[in-house]
Amino acid sequence: MAFCRDDQFIVRIDELKCGKLRYLCWHKSKSIFNLPCLILRDGVIEKSASGNKLEFVFTNKDSLYVMEYLLPITEDGRPKFFLEITDYRNKKSTWKMEEIPLPRYLLNI
């Protein structure tokens, strides 16, 4: 569903066989074969009315994690990812993420 990074983290969002969404996050210095530093479950997908944006929404204690996936409408044809985290004080932090290809050996995991 989503596999992206910025200069600090690698994030993967996938759908489990049971149909639930999962968010996995690693510090960039770690391999994705290490245990993630954060695992969130039971996410939901919200689609925009225009159909050009998906949001993967997860909660963690008092924080809200939203990965925005903007469908490619730019010249380069690449989708855009933005991670927004809102804490309990309603303070928002946003990071632009870069899509990375999912290695073939992870396609069926």
24 domain-assigned:
yes
Residue 78 lies inside a defined structural domain of this protein: yes
Residue 73 pLDDT greater than 90, yes or no = no
| In a domain? residue 108 | no
What pLDDT, on the 0 to 100 scale, is given for residue 104? 73
Strand partners, 9: 27
* Residue 106 pLDDT: 65
The range of the structural domain enclosing residue 51 comes to 2-100
How many domains is the chain partitioned into structurally?
Answer: 1
Q: Quick check: is 106 in a domain?
A: no
- Report if residue 95 sits inside a domain: yes
The per-residue pLDDT for 12 is: 94
Is residue 105 in a domain? no
Can you give 17-70 as a three-state secondary structure string? CCCCEEEEEEECCCCCCCCCCEEEEEEEEEECCCCCEEEEEEEECCEEEEEEEE
